[in-house]
Structure 1
Amino acid sequence: DRAYPDPSAIEAAVKVLLSAERPVIVAGGGAITANASSELTRLAERVGAAVSITWNGKGAISEDHELFIGAVGQTGTTCGNKITASADVVVSVGCRFTDWSASSYAKGVSFSIPPGKLIHIDLDPREIGKTYPTEVGIVSDAKVALEAILALISEGDAKKALGKREQFLADVQKAKADWIAQVSPRENSRETPFTSQRPLVALRKVLDRNGIVVVGSGNTQGSVKQSFPVYEPRTHLTSGSYSPMGWAVPAALGAKLACPDRQVVAIVGDGDFMMSLPEMGTAAMNGINVVFLVLNNSGYMSIRGGQRKFMGRHIASEFNHHSGNGQPYSADITASARAFGLEAWKVEKDEDLESSLKAALECGGPALVEVIVSRDAAGPFATGWWDFPSPAYYEKEQAAYAQMRAREQHL
């Protein structure tokens, strides 16, 4: 059974939405759980609203839709953060406003509420108004709430709303172009070791449109959010709340068992992959035809990045030989996969990237592609803010940290 909304709340939401000059719909995981993607897209088209996503909301709208603006939050896109922060009305559909998606509530980074007005749709009444003041709260299943809103917007209302969107939609296109200009050099780089983004672009070219990616934690997770478009709900699976290492590999096996006719690829870093290495045996013994794409930079680079930025040094986050020349250390992941009975490829040259991924997808069994990636271009762009406390003894970050802390709305 679905939870239905209060009709008076729907009427109030429609009134607020139709008054908007710069409306943005934010799709969280609840939009996908409720199977509300079609209704969400129709509402965006009806009133000319841009659509941003959270980690768990990736796939709620096709990412080649002209109204899609990318993700919000600390590793969102510049476009997603800029346009969403500029919204005068935000429609939240199944979004919990975590510190990651809301840039630790620093005003104007991902959201500006107030002065922006919030229409908050969530099945859990405890979420309504929990982090931002709500203009209209709707406790409901997201799908039926959006259906009810759509039913109250006449063709005349829609035409009038769209007539006010010329400048807003021009701003959207400009922000999207700016983001593409920023990220394209990493996505299209032919340098080796690879950037984290380059293998994702190659995979997208050879993966079916409805193929499923199951994404690990850390820099890989953020890079996929920014640089790997998906086009259907439930084709991007990730642990967007706790973000643990070791989850993606067994989760990919489960996804393939649930959807045996779909291509399934686990995208993980080497540190993440090593947490679940024995599952290669599970895949081989049971004939679970998952492709494991391992982005190997010999370490925990997201942890290293946090250590460097907020403490000025890093400890135990790079895998290096501690005797001799100190060069990066890595187990031979490709050889390990072959020892478990998988077909496997190690890619160190750009000309081998797409062909290896294609071969893995077509080999008819579980397979692994190990791609050697750079430590220096190891992750996503940090376009938002995350309140990762910087100790007082590290003076370099104190001024910038204090400036952003002063913008937080929930201290």
Structure 2
Amino acid sequence: MTPSPTRRLTVAQALVEFLGRQYTERDGRRHRLIGACWGIFGHGNVAGLGQALLESGPERMPYLQGRNEQAMVHAAVGYARQSGRLSAQAVTTSIGPGATNLVTGAALATVNRLPVLLLPGDTFATRPADPVLQQLEVPSAGDVSVNDCLRPVSKYFDRVTRPEALIPAALQAVRVLADPVDTGAVTLALPQDVQAEAYDWPEEFFAERVWHVRRPAPDADAVAEAARAVRNAARPLIVAGGGIHHSEAEDALRALADATGIPVASTQAGKGSLRHDHPADLGGIGHTGTAVADDLARTADLVIGIGTRYSDFTTASNTLFAAPDVRFVNLNIAPFDAHKMAAATLVGDARAGLEALTGALAGHRVDAAYEAEYRTGRDRWEQSVERAFAAEDDGARPSQTQVLGALDGVVGDEDVIVNAAGSLPGDLHKLWRARSPRQYHLEYGYSCMGYEIPGAIGVRLAAPDRPVWALVGDGTYLMMPTEIVTAVQEGININVVLIQNHGYASIGGLSEQTGGERFGTAYRFRAADGSYTGDPLPVDLAANAASLGMAVISARTVRELREALAEARASDLPTCVYVETETADTVSGAPGAQAWWDVPVAQTATRPAAVKAREEYERHTADRRRHL
């Protein structure tokens, strides 16, 4: 028998060769599974994966140089989301602090069900010396390393301690990356000695593989049951989640709304599922939702969840869906999410499920009075948006919502806005007019400060022809501005809108509501009593952005802001628009919360603010409800 052909490569070389030949396919379109590899090198990966990436060249595996390991994962996540989860990126680091810096990014990817491949170096498998540099010693477990921190935040984890173990590990890794149900962070921990070890690999390992992302249709009986529930409902409401975008089901959702008149409210991940001016679009739902969406949610007798996992923001901590006999129908590709809220379940692809449900509802439409009611509510809310965006004095310093209004006047359908944390997500969910399915890019599953700039880089890499805006407050900016250097180095033309309000505005407001009196939330000097209530700190974030290589345009007034945003959008360079708004202890200008959010308040306290906040808290907790 003729022996199978083999190729002698190191483990790292074989992994790079293997990853460069993996593809996904959906609807007849093929996508490269791993589009590039981010990397920061140390002794745990420089002679392994570093050498392998150098040897393979950019055609087999493009390399991107990062500045912060967490930020590299954020960039890869932004890329994956913009790519519809059909293409991902890898991230390699050394063992030690480089590897543990991946944990936050891995958690973000897994919480948001977005694929990213993590390739941290690991301590020696052969243990030539014990301990080695950056090795964590655990007296009761000799095989533990700091990479074990990544286990609970990874959808798949393996430590490759022998060359031949790479074959099943790599196949399992890409299976999970391409799986729309199980995807998230995937970690292959690679001991530094094993990375450099040579092995005779079977050629079959390097054959091109296409991982088909299918569209499973829900069971026909389940579709019929759901259609009966819709026909029997007087006040149905659709909750559109991120699964709409992942499945590219926006057209199917619009067809259902057009045919039936059922209104659509969106989660943070689902916003943009319908264009903002569609007559059935109610905007955001939940704690950061619109008045019209939340009012209808309170009286809905049937809630149709599509691609949503029903987070506490969406359900207003289980106080929003208040009708006594409310029932749920859930369409989700993940059975775990489909069964939430004691729902009638449609387990399947969002597009396939919506098409089936639309067919089963042929000829059905909600009552005309119900349509008139929610359209009147839409009109009222649009007036609230106009008031929040408008500026009475173009020569005055803008509020945060006026910053959004100015940006609203500049962007087109093709622009993408990226945000994750602070007070901006609430303002954007309530007010932003999403013009296209991929315009609204909010990372609100983990709401990670520091995501915006690297996330915008990933979006721009996935969509190089679309203008991309990273919206950041000073708190987020100070946590992770380093990837500005990457954008400048690579010529990745992103726009950063940097809003200076001198503190943690979102948490400051929350602290005030919950009896914390804004303790520790302002960026100020200490006053005589030791509190942070003195003058604002004299930091110059515009100068900082410029020092990292960005072109910076400072705007002091609403008029200057409009001009600066237009200039940035027309620029070919990575550009920062810097604007100082009102301080963190003033309101942003957005309408208040339209629904509650459960943040526990001190049960016993002596300060009047906390006592009053507890009384308000107990009033709301009485409305909590388990849907069984």
TM-score (norm 1): 0.93
Equivalent residue for 1:337, pick from 541, 545, 552: 545
Once residues 67 and 124 of structure 1 are traced to their aligned partners in structure 2, the CA distance between those partners, rounded to angstroms, is 26
Partner letter of residue 600 of structure 2?
Answer: P
1:350-369 paired onto structure 2 within 5 Å: 350-369=558-577
Deviation at 1:241, TM superposition (A): 1.0
Shift of residue 114 of structure 1? 4.7
Distance 1:20 1:307 in 2: 40
1:279-298 matched pairs, under 5 angstroms: 279-298=483-502
Q: Residue 98 of structure 1: which of 311, 332, 336 is its match?
A: 311
Q: 2:493·2:573 contact (CA, 8 Å) conserved in 1?
A: yes
CA drift of 1:113 comes to 5.8
Counterpart of 2:276 in structure 1 is 63
Q: Please give the secondary structure, in 1, of the residue aligned with 2:342.
A: coil
1:294-334 deviations in Å (ceiling 9; x for gaps): 12101111111121111241222101123699221252122
Partner of 1:320: 524
Match of 1:256 among 460, 465, 489: 460
Q: Deviations over 1:156-185 (max 9, x none)?
A: x23xx25x2x21122112222332344433
- In 2: Cα distance, 1:272 partner to 1:151 partner: 46
What is the match of residue 301 of structure 1? 505
In structure 2, the partner of 1:383 is 594
205, 222, 236: which is aligned to 2:440? 236
Please tell me whether the aligned partners of residues 18 and 47 of structure 1 are also in contact (alpha carbons under 8 angstroms). no
Give the equivalent residue in structure 2 for 1:117.
327
Where do residues 40-189 of structure 1 align in structure 2 (5 Å cutoff)? 40-106=253-319, 110-112=320-322, 114-130=324-340, 132-134=341-343, 136-154=344-362, 157-158=363-364, 161-162=365-366, 164=367, 166-189=368-391
Q: Label 1:379 to 1:249 Cα distance change in 2 as closer, same or farther (>3 A).
A: farther
The offset of 1:402, in angstroms, is: 1.0
Partner AA of 1:397 in structure 2? A
Separation in 1, partners of 2:440, 2:472:
13
* Range with bigger deviation, 395-404 or 240-249: 395-404
Q: Deviations over 1:83-129 (max 9, x none)?
A: 122222221101111111100001xxx32365122111111112233
One-letter identity of the residue aligned with 2:615: A
| Partner SS state of residue 317, structure 2 | helix
CA RMSD of superposed structures (Å)? 1.8
Q: What amino acid is aligned across from residue 436 of structure 2 in structure 1?
A: E
Which residue does 1:397 correspond to in 2?
613
Stretch moving more, 308-317 or 53-62:
308-317
Mapped to 1, the partners of 2:302 and 2:259 lie a distance apart of 15
Q: Which residue of 2 aligns with 1:272?
A: 476
- Name the counterpart of 2:429: 225
Structure 1 or 2, whichever has the larger Rg, is: 2
Letter in 2 for 1:347: A
Q: What SS class does the counterpart of residue 20 from structure 1 fall into?
A: coil
Query: Secondary structure at the residue paired with 2:312?
Result: coil
Please say if residues 299 and 323 of structure 2, whose CA atoms lie closer than 8 Å, have aligned partners that are also in contact: no
* Structure 2 alignment gaps of length 5 or more: 1-213
Query: C-alpha distance in 1, partners of 2:253/2:290?
Result: 20
In the TM superposition, residue 67 of structure 1 has moved relative to its aligned partner by 0.8
Flag the structure with more relative contact order, 1 or 2, with Cα contacts below 8 A and sequence separation at least 6: 1
Aligned length: 400
- In 2, Cα distance between equivalents of 1:115 and 1:127: 21
**Offset at 1:25?**
1.1
For 2:508 and 2:577, the matched residues in 1 are separated by 24
Query: C-alpha offsets along residues 215-251 of structure 1, whole Å, 9 cap, x if unaligned?
Result: 1312011111112211222221121111010011100
The separation in 2 between residues aligned to 1:211 and 1:76, in whole angstroms, is 22
Residue of structure 2 aligned with 1:27, choices 220, 223, 240: 240
> What's the counterpart of residue 409 of structure 1?
625
Once the two structures are overlaid, the 10-residue window that deviates more, 258-267 or 202-211, is 202-211
Contact 2:397 2:558 in 1 (8 A): no
Name the structure 1 match of 2:398.
Answer: 194
SS across alignment from 2:517: coil
- Asked if structure 2 preserves the Cα contact closer than 8 Å seen for 1:114 and 1:133, the reply is no
